[in-house]
Amino acid sequence: MENHLAISADKPDWTRERVERFWDPGRKLLRSLRKYQAWRASSNPVAPLMRRYWVLIHWFWSLVTQSEIHLNTRIEGGLRLTHPTGIILHPDSVIGPNCLIFHQVTFAGPVTIGGHVDIGAGAKIIGPLTIGDHARVGANAVVTSDVPAGATVVGIPARVISKEVVSEG
């Protein structure tokens, strides 16, 4: 049985990144990255000072979460880091809108992730490779080749166990 996933306009859902409480490490780590990138693009005279401030905040939340998400990583909006511990992302990786990454995920090498991709705990993505829109990577999977849109991959090495048809809608 095939499921048909309608692709939205792939607009990021920024509410997924909104800091909702004092102790919200994943969202605060993302906020520090977003603020740094905004100040890096700014021509405001205080921009160098603000960049340094957000580097320190990013360093703090990276230490708390024991994660390495580089300040220049290209991440579209709506990323969810539900349990942000131990996430290591290659600095040349690109992450599409509204993705979900669980704890202990590693991107070894440049990886391009499409929109609405869910990556389970402990997954290792060994690039360079591309994971298509609406794909799912199972917990502890080791992905060594491209994953088509709508596919679910599991295992070591990861293999496709199901594929949903992704249609424009």
- pTM equals 0.88
Q: What is the pLDDT of residues 30-84, one digit of tens each?
A: 999 999 999 999 999 999 999 999 999 999 999 999 999 999 999 999 999 989 9
Q: Domain locations in the chain?
A: 22-163
Mean pLDDT across the chain: 92
Which residues have CB under 8 Å from 134's CB, separation 6+? 5, 7, 114, 115, 116, 117, 149, 150, 164, 166
Q: Which fold has domain 22-163?
A: UDP N-Acetylglucosamine Acyltransferase; domain 1 (2.160.10)
